[in-house]
């Protein structure tokens, strides 16, 4: 599929079996809730984009996001070290998204955030993505997420007249290293990663929970999991599992946790019975922004998953000690 929007300004809905070359969002027939056509300028300012990538190893988890909300740009990255229990993080904001550049090309687009001496970048590579960070304090990150061959591509309605496109993969092989001051973390054969590429005319206010795992199962298979509730589920979901890079769809996800006691055990399951997992948080990257028009209450937890998942052959597979992420997020944009 060369372009997402057709020549009549319409967007498809559901799972897309083919790659999308360009998100030509300015061609979308965006209207007000009273059916008044919106201007090209309105379409430009209402369109949001973000990308998130992660790398997960038995001893550490790395996450990085680039966000373009037009009125503001955001770039952050962090590393949680399970051995020391230390969370290292950096976060940056740019008014009017100055220095924030996300190309609307899901398969091969470049994403970059710059502020002062800081550069965060996600660049296309053969069969994957290159992730790099350069920042003061001796921070140098160079990772390659590989074998990104079978993503989940989904378009969902959002609110009365919007939509969200998302492209997700988890369980990807990762190579490279992270240098933070005098400390070094290197990827090994058990390191796996995830990619989340999302954009669209999103609901003005939304909230969601999200879970992600990327690792290696005891039987040696690469494993990835993406679960969400509260977003991208207007009659469909973005829930999926990857065994050795092969994507399979999952049913509705249910998250059970105490928002005000987040250090407790979380539970997540799917209504098809394939997923039954507990999550024990170890660290959290959180940020609160209340700027009137824009607001975000963001909490992304790093921790450990235990439980079971049923693979495509019907076999119940234990998930014991794999690292991953849980998120609780409210956004106004």
Q: Is residue 92 a part of any domain in this protein?
A: yes
- What is the value of pTM for the model shown? 0.95
Arithmetic mean of pLDDT, 101-107:
97
Q: Is residue 9 a part of any domain in this protein?
A: no
CATH number, domain at 155?
2.40.370.10
Q: Is residue 35 a part of any domain in this protein?
A: yes
325-326-328-331 Cα dihedral, nearest 10 degrees: 30
Q: Is residue 2 a part of any domain in this protein?
A: no
Arithmetic mean of pLDDT, 244-265:
94
Q: Is residue 170 a part of any domain in this protein?
A: yes
The pLDDT of residue 50 is 96
> Could you tell me the residue range of the domain that residue 152 belongs to?
14-332
For residue 321, pLDDT beyond 80: yes
What value does the mean pLDDT of the chain take?
95
Q: Is residue 7 a part of any domain in this protein?
A: no
Band (278; pLDDT cuts 50, 70, 90): very high
Q: How many CB atoms lie within 10 A of CB 246?
A: 14
- Is 282 within 8 Å of 80 (Cβ atoms)? yes
The pLDDT of residue 290 is 85
The pLDDT of residue 231 is 82
Strand order of the sheet with strand 205-216? 246-249, 240-243, 222-229, 205-216, 316-332, 295-310, 275-290, 266-270, 253-256
Q: Is residue 204 a part of any domain in this protein?
A: yes
For residue 68, give the nearest of 116, 110, 107 by alpha carbon: 110
Arithmetic mean of pLDDT, 28-35:
96
Quick: pLDDT tens for 119-149. 999 999 998 999 999 999 999 999 999 999 9
Q: Is residue 149 a part of any domain in this protein?
A: yes
Count of structural domains within the chain: 1
């Amino acid at each position: 599929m060369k372009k997402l929007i057709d020549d009549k300004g319409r967007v498809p809905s559901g799972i897309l079996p083919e790659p999308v070359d360009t998100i030509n969002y300015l061609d979308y027939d965006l209207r007000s809730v009273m059916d008044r056509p919106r201007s090209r300028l309105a379409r430009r300012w209402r369109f949001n984009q973000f990308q998130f990538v992660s790398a997960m190893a038995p001893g550490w988890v790395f996450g990085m996001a680039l966000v373009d909300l037009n009125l503001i740009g955001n770039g952050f990255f962090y590393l949680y070290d399970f051995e020391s229990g230390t969370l290292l993080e950096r976060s940056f904001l740019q008014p009017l998204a100055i220095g924030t550049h996300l190309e609307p090309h899901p398969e091969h687009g470049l994403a970059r955030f710059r502020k002062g001496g800081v550069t965060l970048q996600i660049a296309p590579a053969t069969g994957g993505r290159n992730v790099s960070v350069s920042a003061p304090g001796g921070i140098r990150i160079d990772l390659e997420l590989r074998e990104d061959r079978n993503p989940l591509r989904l378009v969902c309605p959002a609110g009365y007249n919007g939509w969200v496109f998302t492209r997700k993969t988890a369980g990807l092989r990762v190579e490279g290293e992270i240098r933070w001051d005098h400390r070094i973390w290197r990827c090994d054969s058990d390191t796996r990663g995830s990619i989340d590429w999302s954009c669209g005319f999103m609901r003005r206010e939304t909230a969601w929970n999200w879970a992600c795992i990327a690792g290696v199962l005891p039987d040696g298979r690469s494993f990835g999991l993406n679960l969400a509730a509260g977003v991208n589920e207007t009659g469909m979901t973005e829930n999926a599992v990857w065994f050795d890079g092969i994507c399979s769809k999952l049913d509705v996800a249910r998250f059970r946790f105490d928002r005000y006691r987040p250090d407790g055990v979380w539970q997540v399951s799917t209504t098809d019975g394939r997923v039954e997992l507990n999550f024990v948080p170890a660290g959290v990257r959180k940020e609160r922004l209340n700027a009137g028009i824009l607001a975000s209450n963001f909490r992304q937890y790093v921790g450990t998953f235990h439980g079971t998942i049923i693979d495509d052959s019907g076999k119940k597979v234990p998930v014991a000690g794999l690292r991953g992420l849980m998120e609780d997020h409210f956004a106004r944009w």
